[in-house]
A and B are shown apart, each in its own frame.
Chain A
């Protein structure tokens, strides 16, 4: 499954990093604690968070994540979007709260 498939199926907004929409997705990880993501997320996962600052992209890039989904209507800071474009790691968005979007994403990745 590609990031673009998730965008279409879950009707996500693409804020930035369009160049990375064809990245392969291996799974997902949900956390707003950066060290938790650093220590426990894995390559190719989609990261769901409400953190919007630039350090999110530093972590996404260091961990080779497939994309970031900002939950609950959050929008990326300007320099977050800029780094997302430079790294070709998409920042996506949804108005749904974390629980709801996680449920849908889980269903999509593991049961379709």
Chain B
């Protein structure tokens, strides 16, 4: 099964505009393009990067195709951000970049220099849990815990953004973070609790 997501992102970026144009080109040409594509094996490129994560700076060499999520999980052993889809459809990989909630699976590592990334591992203040982390424990805002780091990063942003005026508003602004365990009761309660502080 040849599916788009299976192609390298770099390759996809390079060729997507060409592909767009191909939509208007006769079938034979498209097939030819498909053939050619299989014979050009792009060599992988690694670029030196300086990134700042949880206020710690890292000088690394990263594959140009590497997402922030894979950089965190595979290269830096910061596995708090979760991979739930790798497609920007679930929110499990939510981190903060310069204070804004962002899907790390849709963010290329190469775009990070000059920005500050905060992951769930950087949320607590020393040995003091972030109030949202405490609230999630108290309100049992999780079951399996896999969506939880993403929920908490989104929840912190949701409060900062001021979208906590009603249960309906919290639910709306937390709907980019799926929880298959359905721990939504506790998630909403946690946010209400922190918003009220």
A pairs with B: no
Which residues of A approach B to under 8 Å, CB–CB? none
Which residues of B approach A to under 8 Å, CB–CB? none
